[in-house]
Each structure stands twice: as C-alpha cells, then as structure tokens.
Amino acid sequence: MRIERCVCHKVDFSTVKRWLESHPGATFADIKQEFKCGTGCGLCAPYVRRTMRTGETVYHHIVTERDEPLRPE
C-alpha cells in the first residue's frame, strides 16, 4: 500500500510539505484553506498532520485520527 496524496482534492503530501517549508508557522487550518485537504472525506487529515509533524510524505501503513489527533491551533 502506498498513500501519498489527498484523494478528494488530488494534492500530494509532498506538495503540502513544500508549501509548509515556505510558510513557517502554518497551521492545519491554513493547509485546509490553501489545498482543501481534510475538507472532503477527511481521511487525509491525519496524514497531513503527520506530514506537518515529521516531514514524511509517503506512507505504507494506515494513519488514523488516533495516531495524529487534531491539536488546538
């Protein structure tokens, strides 16, 4: 299994990572506004938060809300 993008909005997590690098201090809400990630089915949200936290952009296992909960912004 290879998970590397928001399926609903077809945004690669690597694109999100590059954007984050040029927008220090950006929040998950900022990413939702910029890319719409997390606003469709929502399954990408924990992956986006993991990308924000670790810089990882390709996943070979399922990441859930329990693994990467939404933290207050």
Write the pLDDT tens digit of every residue in 20-42.
999 999 999 999 999 999 999 99
Residue of higher predicted confidence among 70 and 66: 66
Return d(Cα 60, Cα 31) in angstroms, integer. Answer: 22
Residue 58 has pLDDT above 80, yes or no: yes
Residue 70 has a pLDDT of 84
Q: Spell out the SS3 assignment of 29-70.
A: HHHHHHHCCCCCCCCCHHHHHHHHHHCCCCECCCCCCCCCCC
Residue 29 has a pLDDT of 96
pTM, rounded to two decimals: 0.93
- Asked whether 42 and 54 are in contact (CB, 8 A), the reply is no
Residue of higher predicted confidence among 71 and 28: 28
Residue 56 has pLDDT above 80, yes or no: yes
